[in-house]
Structure 1
Amino acid sequence: MHASPDLGFGDLTPEFMLDALDAAGLRADGRMLQLNSFENRVLQLHLEDGRVAVAKFYRPGRWSDAQILEEHAFAADLAAAEVPVAAPWRLAGGSTLFHDRGQRLAVTPRQGGRGPELEDPEVLRWTGRLLARLHDVGRQRPFAERLTWASAAPARAARDWLMAHDALPPEIAPAWDDAARRCIDAIQAAFDGLPGLRLTRLHGDCHPGNILWTPDRGPHFVDLDDAVMGPAVQDLWMLLPGAADAARPSLDAVLAGYEQVAGFDDRELRLIEPLRTMRMIHHSAWLARRWGDPAFPLAFPWFGTPNYWLDQVAKLREQLEAMKPRDAAPAPVRDEDVADFDGDGFA
């Protein structure tokens, strides 16, 4: 497998980051904690004025400035509508995106909380209501610069990149490519079968790791880094926990809360397996693209091995069966489906 080149994060020493924050108009008192993130470099810091903030240094080359500023504008729209989300602060120069020596920086207030207890139906209903509010704001205007998940195009681009870069072992590549192509055709057929599909600005990566819970405020969202245009169900399916027989009750609870606030097109439920399959293909391409970052071989030592790709062939073939039209409960969410990319699986 050919590794991508280092993307420049080696320059992000603590001293560099503190100097960049100072240039952006924020004086840190030196207390810093690096937060879990593979895609960007994210740290919690204490400011001299007593505030606690989260600073994100964006991976170079992933998003354009226009795409990042659309993410920030969406967060501002949500905050203005009192949807609980951490919206970026304006920094020196007046923008929410600050440039310093080739790096790009955004800063949000820290929001505390713990992971939601998604086994609790009331937690699921509350989360569904919050997602409906987020989507209501999202429908006020479309994204112009960010990605759209309304066809098989993202999966096709991921497949094309993997094959063009010889990312798979030669003896496995034909079988994986055959399964991926058939999956892509099934994904496209699923979208084509839903005329008039309504798209909205979405969180885009709404797995449990990107939702925090506090007893008094309930759920709130973090990390809009993967915000996209797409169908509402993209923000629902990753919340479904447990075995297959438990998935339908969980989905029903989320939808019960959602439909207290906004209407939901039940046809979108047919997209759960196509969207899951698209994420699987995208995840493989994401890991391959980032392999030149030293953090990735350490965190994902199993990636790229023959066993990994054979397992992917088997899973894609399973997804072909799962994507066949039927009225059935959605399959369970597996750990690898919702790995916390920190906004990181869709670029």
Structure 2
Amino acid sequence: MAEPAEIDDINVAHSALRAWDSVVGNAHPEPMPLVHNQVWQVFAEDGRRYVLKRLPEFAPGAGPVDTFRVLSHLQAAGVPVVLPVVTDQATIHTVQADRTYSLSSFVPSDSGNHELGPSAGETSYAVGAAIAKLDRALAECPWQPKSYVDDPVPQALGEALPSLPPELTGPVAPLARHLGATASGLPVQRTHGDCNTGNVLVRDRQVSGFIDIDHLPLGPRVRDLSYYLASRLHTHVNHRQDAERHTAAMLAVLGEYVAGYHETYPLSDRELAAVVPLMLLVEIGSASWALHGWNPDLATYRRSATTITWITDHLDELTDAAALPSTGA
């Protein structure tokens, strides 16, 4: 049975949806499975599908207007993104009961782990290339949204790592100097900033859509690639039945991801060397957030801890796997 707060959320979301009456007609929002944020899928009267999202009270980075302008640029550049659907009142979002909502088209995606599929290498290369195309378009964007600076070394090693238990600080401490040296001083630009596997939708061996592009910090461009790779590795390392087979499949295509990015938006030698260290820094930040963020989650922390331990135990193997394939540039 739904909790009173959940009933209130769905009722307010239903009222907010009326702002798009001419688009969706007599539609009702339904909670999306496997999504923790307040996001609902909407089936319009004409059969089309949409996503209704409650925007956070405080923007994670860029505000709605800046985000809309950047998304417009990305769409014009051929990057697969979705723009908010304009309301019947000619706005990009609506406010209901002091809560702000936006509506966008539903982006289809495949379920499952593509690294284990018959087209694993092709798909991984295509995803790397798509992230590179996104980053290149962001670098060329004339709009400069107000957001934060993403500086992964001090944020992960100076702030996040000291907040973690000894089970993680112990294995990472001997690597701290190497991590700091390889991940510092990298070229910076506007980036996605939250380029995890949930925000990079894949269908038929291609990226079908980038979503939740509302962080948009200034930071190392290669971190978008590392962020995605860390989230994919996180999924495989924590597979309940067959983690060993899953991580082996991930290692087998890691170089294809890097090659796809590099051949689309060439990386310097220093950036290539930083791919794996940044993956570890991403997981350190995730573990700290799981313990000390707005909604601490011990289960999420444990999964990040498992991934961090795996990376520290297999750092050389991971580094070799991330090297460009012999067929790469």
Alignment correspondent of 2:137: 137
Structure 1 letter corresponding to 2:12: F
Does residue 281 of the first structure (1) align with residue 284 of the second (2)?
yes
Does residue 207 of the first structure (1) align with residue 192 of the second (2)?
no
Alignment correspondent of 2:73: 77
Do the aligned partners of 2:84 and 2:104 also contact (CA within 8 Å) in 1?
Answer: yes
Q: Of 183, 190, 193, which aligns to 1:191?
A: 183
Aligned counterparts of 1:266 and 1:139: Cα–Cα separation in 2: 19
Secondary structure at the aligned position of 2:203 is classed as strand
Q: Of 208, 224, 240, which aligns to 1:235?
A: 224
Aligned counterparts of 2:189 and 2:263: Cα–Cα separation in 1: 20
Structure 2 letter corresponding to 1:197: P
Do the aligned partners of 2:94 and 2:101 also contact (CA within 8 Å) in 1?
Answer: yes
Aligned counterparts of 1:93 and 1:181: Cα–Cα separation in 2: 55
CA, structure 1 residues 159+108, in 2 after alignment: closer, same or farther (shift >3 Å)?
same
Question: Which consecutive residues of structure 1, in runs of 5 or more, have no partner in the other structure?
Answer: 1-7, 332-347
> Going by fraction, where is helix more abundant, 1 or 2?
2
Alignment correspondent of 2:51: 54
Q: How far 1:231 sits from its partner (Å)?
A: 3.0
Structure 2 letter corresponding to 1:63: P
Q: Of 7, 10, 16, which aligns to 1:14?
A: 10
Higher RCO (CA 8 Å, separation ≥ 6 residues): 1
- Percent identity between matched residues is 17
Do the aligned partners of 1:39 and 1:59 also contact (CA within 8 Å) in 2?
Answer: no
Do the aligned partners of 2:74 and 2:137 also contact (CA within 8 Å) in 1?
Answer: yes
Do the aligned partners of 2:133 and 2:264 also contact (CA within 8 Å) in 1?
Answer: yes
State the aligned residue count: 297
Structure 2 letter corresponding to 1:265: S
Do the aligned partners of 2:12 and 2:97 also contact (CA within 8 Å) in 1?
Answer: no
CA, structure 1 residues 61+96, in 2 after alignment: closer, same or farther (shift >3 Å)?
same
Does residue 149 of the first structure (1) align with residue 147 of the second (2)?
no
Deviations 1:209-246 (A, max 9, x none): 7322047xx32224224544333333334346667766
Alignment of 1:246-285 (within 5 A): 249-285=252-288
Secondary structure at the aligned position of 1:272 is classed as helix
Q: How far 1:135 sits from its partner (Å)?
A: 1.8
Q: How far 1:330 sits from its partner (Å)?
A: 4.3
Secondary structure at the aligned position of 1:123 is classed as helix
Deviations 1:99-148 (A, max 9, x none): 32221212111122314723522222322332232122111137543333
Do the aligned partners of 1:114 and 1:213 also contact (CA within 8 Å) in 2?
Answer: yes
Do the aligned partners of 1:152 and 1:184 also contact (CA within 8 Å) in 2?
Answer: no
Secondary structure at the aligned position of 1:329 is classed as helix
Q: Of 272, 291, 295, which aligns to 1:291?
A: 295
Aligned counterparts of 2:110 and 2:34: Cα–Cα separation in 1: 17
Deviations 1:185-209 (A, max 9, x none): 65433233xx452434236324277
Secondary structure at the aligned position of 2:87 is classed as coil
Structure 1 letter corresponding to 2:288: A
Alignment correspondent of 2:207: 219
Question: Which consecutive residues of structure 2, in runs of 5 or more, have no partner in the other structure?
Answer: 234-244, 324-329
Alignment of 1:50-129 (within 5 A): 50-61=47-58, 63=60, 66-115=62-111, 117-118=114-115, 119=117, 120=119, 121-129=121-129
CA, structure 1 residues 188+126, in 2 after alignment: closer, same or farther (shift >3 Å)?
same
Secondary structure at the aligned position of 2:26 is classed as strand
Aligned counterparts of 2:49 and 2:310: Cα–Cα separation in 1: 46
Do the aligned partners of 1:98 and 1:105 also contact (CA within 8 Å) in 2?
Answer: yes
Q: Alpha carbon RMSD of aligned pairs, Å?
A: 4.0
